Amino acid sequence: MAKIPFIFRKTKTVRNLKSYMDTAFSEVLHTTLNPNGPGAIRIHLIPPKEEENSFNPSIAIINGTDILPVNFAWAVILAEMIRETNHYDGKEIGEPEIQSILDRTTENVRKILPVFSRKRIQADMQTIYTTIRQIAYREQVTTDVHFMSIGDYAPFMQAPHRMDLMVSAMTKEGNWHCNQKCVHCYAAGQPLSDERELSTEDWKKVLDICRRVGIPQVTFTGGEPTMREDLFDLIKYARWFISRLNTNGIRLTPEYCRQLREAELDSVQITFYSADPEIHNRLVGAARYEETLAGIKNALEQGLSVSINTPLCTLNREYEKTLELLHELGVIYVTCSGLITTGSAAGALSESLQLGSEELEEILRQAVSYCHQNGMEIAFTSPGWLDEKVFEELCIPSPSCGACLSNMAITPGGNVVPCQSWLSGQPLGNMLTDDWKDIWDSGPCQTRRDFSARLTGECPLRRYC
């Protein structure tokens, strides 16, 4: 716990800071820099769990992915910058407006932190902006930023950074409710994925709760979320969040993609198994290759931010050929994974198609080499499959379990589970009927969070299921 710094210990100063923390730090603050141009930067400033007489670090989440720890003084400056910037929401910001934002922010911060000079505050503002811009644009960060892993930050958290919303169930009124039947579907046959779906209004209530408790990012997933006719309405309602859609791409016509853009969706992830139509169709259980390929093209042409995910198995081990096709289409961001051994993926057919760790490592090495040579970015998302040293050698992030820490999920019926693959057993609570604090602080949730915070690179579902 960070105690009150010596320079803040005057009684009046402490009283003013306490008042500020009770009001200004009672919710997540959000703004978007350069919203209408290329290179928009979304910032969510998340306050720490409140503790008496403490100055725990806050974090700024940049574009929903990068986590920047900020000390109390920087958090105050950034909070006031965000508030002043948001006065111009929907309006063009030119040089006069920027100067006005800087001037008013300086005066606001001086009232809160009078021990800091105007010159010091303005210098810190410039450093904060430069650091955030460098992180967002993947440039070399020139500021000496103190590193803090999400595991280190776990004790200060009040909610995960991402909530996966399973808005579409796998079955509806006893019938299959997906336009594919994937061999490796982790949700198929799982009790919590077959619940009756929440209504539009109930999902909006869920989004309201997510915002109130400080969750900055949501993913619309399923099942197949595009099966819902109200999806555009839900995405539009979620504009405060960093929003992502996980889909098989079948329904992504040009018009559908245009409406996703109008709803201000931030990104779409499309599952694509193989450049070989026969292999792709076999793995998705339907002749959908051409529609998925068209969906990828349409999403790119309509200006959506697109990433492609490929679960790897023995049938699509020629992953580099798939990358070649995606590169030709203009895809930059790709992810690949092992198989999540739940649902259909726990069945005999899926298990017979699993890759061994040595072959998976070789496929990943070839894929990373291809991506680096062709200006693509790749990540491997399955913890527990490969040794930590492999990721160090390849210079890509090592995946770790984020259940009840960086991410959680809500089932079609509103139940809260550790992650979107954890669809059997007892849920942690219900988002609409239980208090969030009771869910977050419950024994099962804390136990799972403690495991994730150790960043062991293991997946509990792979260990125990």
Integer CA distances (angstroms), 192 to 187, 207, 428, 444, in order: 9, 20, 12, 17
Which of 117, 147, 177 is the C-terminal boundary of a domain?
Answer: 147
User: What three-state secondary structure class fits 145?
Assistant: coil
* Distance separating alpha carbons of residues 101 and 234, to the nearest angstrom: 32
Same domain, 189 and 108: no
Please answer whether residues 197 and 250 qualify as being in contact, where contact means their C-beta atoms are separated by less than 8 angstroms.
Answer: no
Please answer whether residues 407 and 164 qualify as being in contact, where contact means their C-beta atoms are separated by less than 8 angstroms.
Answer: yes
Please answer whether residues 246 and 420 qualify as being in contact, where contact means their C-beta atoms are separated by less than 8 angstroms.
Answer: no
Same domain, 40 and 162: no
- Pairing verdict, β 66-70 and 162-166: unpaired
User: What three-state secondary structure class fits 39?
Assistant: coil
Same domain, 90 and 195: no
Tokens at 461, concatenated: 């579902």
Q: What angle do CA 372, 378, 381 make, to 5 degrees?
A: 150
Same domain, 402 and 341: yes
Q: Is residue 6 part of a domain?
A: no
pLDDT of residue 5: 46
- What does 277-316 look like in DSSP terms, one character per residue? HHHHHHHHTSS-HHHHHHHHHHHHHTT--EEEEEE--STT
Ordered per-residue pLDDT tens for the chain, 465 residues = 344 444 444 444 545 666 666 666 678 899 988 776 667 889 999 988 766 556 677 889 998 878 888 888 899 999 999 999 998 876 778 888 889 999 999 999 998 888 899 999 999 999 999 999 998 888 888 888 776 778 888 888 999 999 999 999 999 988 999 999 999 888 888 899 999 999 999 999 999 999 999 999 999 999 999 999 999 999 999 999 999 999 999 999 999 999 999 999 999 999 999 999 999 999 999 999 999 999 999 999 999 999 999 999 999 999 999 999 999 999 999 999 998 777 777 778 878 899 999 999 999 999 999 999 999 999 999 988 899 899 999 998 888 889 999 999 999 999 999 999 888 889 999 999 999 999 999 999 999 999 998 877 777 765 444
Which residues have CB under 8 Å from 174's CB, separation 6+? none
Same domain, 196 and 143: no
Say how many residues make up the chain. Answer: 465
Return the residue matching tokens 């019926």.
413
Q: Is residue 86 part of a domain?
A: yes
Q: Is residue 3 part of a domain?
A: no
Segment 382-441, tens digit of pLDDT: 988 899 899 999 998 888 889 999 999 999 999 999 999 888 889 999 999 999 999 999
* Distance separating alpha carbons of residues 237 and 209, to the nearest angstrom: 13
Same domain, 87 and 198: no
Same domain, 121 and 216: no
Segment 261-318, tens digit of pLDDT: 999 999 999 999 999 999 999 999 999 999 999 999 999 999 999 999 999 999 999 9
The domain in which residue 73 lies consists of: 12-147
* Distance separating alpha carbons of residues 193 and 455, to the nearest angstrom: 27
Same domain, 329 and 444: yes
Same domain, 426 and 311: yes
Q: Is residue 269 part of a domain?
A: yes
State the total domains in the chain.
Answer: 2
Same domain, 57 and 188: no
Q: Is residue 458 part of a domain?
A: no
Same domain, 195 and 266: yes
DSSP code of residue 54 = B
